[in-house]
Structures are given as C-alpha cells and as structure tokens.
Structure 1
Amino acid sequence: MIRSPFWQRVDKWSRGATPVGLTLLLLLIGLLPWHLPELGTIGISLVIISVFYWGLKTPQLMTAWSALSIGLISDLLAVTPMGVGTVSLLCLYGLTRSQARTLRNMPFFVIWPVFMLFAAIIILLSWLLTAMVDSSFPDLRPVIFLYLFVIVCYPLLSYVFGHLQRSLLPEK
C-alpha cells in the first residue's frame, strides 16, 4: 500500500500529538461531575499522572510549552484560581525533567515512589497557591483524598500509556 506524503505527515503528526491529546482528554474526564463524596472534582489529578509519565518517557512530545498550554486550559476550565494549574504543571514538568536521566530506564517500582513524592509536592503546592489566592482557607481533606486517588490511578494509567507508547510511538 502506497501512501501519499500528505497522509504520512498526518499520521506522524497524529502519533506525535498522542501524549498532549491524551492529557487534554484526561483533563476533560477529570472535570466531569463524578459525585465522589470526599473527592469533589478530580480535575487536574489525572493530568498530573500524564504530564509526569510523558515528560519522563517522551520529553520531545510533552514539552514545557505543552505543560504550560495544558495548565492554562485547565485554569480556564477548572474551579481553581487562575494560574494554579499552570504553575503546578510547570513545576511538575521541571521536577520530572530534572530527574529524567536517572529515572528513564528504572523499573516501575522505583518510578512509582518518585511519582508519589512529586505528586505530593505538586498537590500540596496547588493547595497552598489556592489558599494564598482564596479568601477562605481551603479544606485539606479533599486534597488528601485527591492524593490517594492519584497514587492509586498511577499504575493503571502508566500501564495504558506504556502500551500506547510501544504501539504508537516506536523508537527510532
């Protein structure tokens, strides 16, 4: 089957857009009203997993500009104060990239605890930024449940992302 150069470029672009597209999809899924009693909206929590994974595994596709754009979109759509999502995702991306060389080929049971630490830092940072901007002091309980939700969801999403990475984004 002979493909035209146009369709080859479209195919290459769509494969390269997979990490950012999935992250935006997870953001939209997180903003749906799930009616989880102690959790509230899961909002940016799934995005944290995605930015960490793709920033670690495919930094050429999940760039700082991508994290910035996703953060801005999250700020425009979410209920958090403007700038909180953007700052949080950029900090997460910076932390991830600073440790990428060390973590890239490590086994899952080494990467997961590092993710737990980074997620704790980012979720706490988001809470602190919200507390600084908001006139009332936000409740800490939803933040704890959100953190537990994120660390429980990480293995499943990283498995799915790994499968997609192997099938859609072959190594060159």
Structure 2
Amino acid sequence: MTPDQAPEFQPGIQPRPSLWRRLDMLSRRGLPAALTGMAVLLLSAPFGLPGQAELLPGVVLSSVFFWSVFRPASMSSPIVFLLGILVDLLGFGPPGVMLLVVLLVHGVALSGRYGFSRAHILVLWIVFGGLSLAATALQWGLISALSLHLVPTVAFAFQWVLGVGVFPLLCVVFSTLGRSIANPDRA
C-alpha cells in the first residue's frame, strides 16, 4: 500500500483532538436537530401562509425519519423527545400527541434503519408514505379521542399529502447536508 492510499483510520497512537475539532464535530452532529428546531419555530410563527400548520408535522416527521435512518447519532431519542415537546408546545393540538407520534416514527426508523439506508429513494419514499399515513391516522385518532368527538379528516389528509410531497425535496437537502456540513467525520 502506497502512502497516498493510506486508510482514513490508522491504528496506533493518535494525538488527542483539539478543543476546536471537538466543537466542530459536536456542531456538525447537532446541525440536523438545530435545523429541525428552527423549522418548527418558523412553521409555528403566525405568518398566515396557507397550509403552514399542516406542513409542520410533515417536515418534522420527514426530518426525524431521514436523520434517524442515515445519522442516528444526530437524531437520538432525547433530541426527538425535545423536538416533540417543542412541536406540542408551539402546535395547536393537544399536548403529548405529536410527542408520541414523533417518538414512534423515530423508533420505526431506527429499527429498520439497516434496510432503509440501503433502499432506493423511491422505496424509502413509499415506506415513509406508509409510516406517515399510520402516524397521521394515529394523530387523528388520539385527537378525536381526547376531544370526545370525531374530528374532520380533511385537514389530516391534507397534512399527510403535504408531508409525503415534501419528503423528496427534504431528502435532497438532507443528503447534501449529510455529505458536507452535517458530517461529523469531516471535522
């Protein structure tokens, strides 16, 4: 093996990473959670855009699903828990519903991540569509049960369509970020 073909990881004594390198790695690892939190804040703000409230769960579910599959260290369970609390505090639904839904999506994504990470983007999109449909149905059922009457399904169907529709666009953005600025290995 020539010196220019040396592997990235070399066994032996390595110098301790500097404080700046560790901070760089930490910031790169935390970028997906920070971007998701900023998206929650922006989509919860009273801008008055049509479909803004319905887009929030789709963006959060897409982000949690994608990063749980491809970078689970960046979207760990405590971070997903905090994001779910943030969505519940800023959202318009009963408290705890989106927290449970986001944690369930995170759990499914983590449990199937080895298969999902090797799948083609269309297969991943179909899987996300089914998972998002189940999450939206669960959200509708919980909100209906907590309000003691059946809530109209039109808003939830619109929310599901927006979430499935925005997933490929977010996948492109997240994949680009995952190869560049959100990659802790490049620190």
How high is the TM-score relative to the length of structure 1? 0.90
> Which residue of 2 is the match for residue 109 of structure 1?
122
Structure number with the bigger relative contact order (C-alpha 8 A, sep ≥ 6) is 2
Larger Rg belongs to = 2
Q: Give yes or no for the alignment of 1:41 onto 2:57.
A: no
> Which residue of 2 is the match for residue 27 of structure 1?
40
Structure 2 unpaired stretches of 5+? 1-16
What's the Cα RMSD here? 1.7
Residue pair 2:80, 2:103 contacting (<8 A) in 1 also: yes
> Which residue of 2 is the match for residue 86 of structure 1?
99
Residue pair 1:68, 1:90 contacting (<8 A) in 2 also: yes
Aligned-partner SS, 2:180: helix
Structure 1 unpaired stretches of 5+? none
Which letter does structure 2 place at the counterpart of 1:35?
Answer: L
* Distance in 1 separating the partners of 2:184 and 2:27: 13
Which one of the candidate residues 119, 126, 147 is aligned to 2:160? 147
Pick closer, same or farther for the CA change 1:170–1:60 going to 2, 3 Å. closer
Aligned-partner SS, 1:154: helix
How high is the TM-score relative to the length of structure 2? 0.83
* Distance in 1 separating the partners of 2:49 and 2:176: 30
Which one of the candidate residues 74, 78, 95 is aligned to 2:87? 74
> Which residue of 2 is the match for residue 131 of structure 1?
144
Q: Give yes or no for the alignment of 1:167 onto 2:180.
A: yes
Residue pair 1:131, 1:138 contacting (<8 A) in 2 also: yes
> Which residue of 2 is the match for residue 96 of structure 1?
109
Q: CA deviation at 1:131?
A: 0.9
Tell me the matched-pair count. 167
Percentage identity across paired residues of the two chains: 26
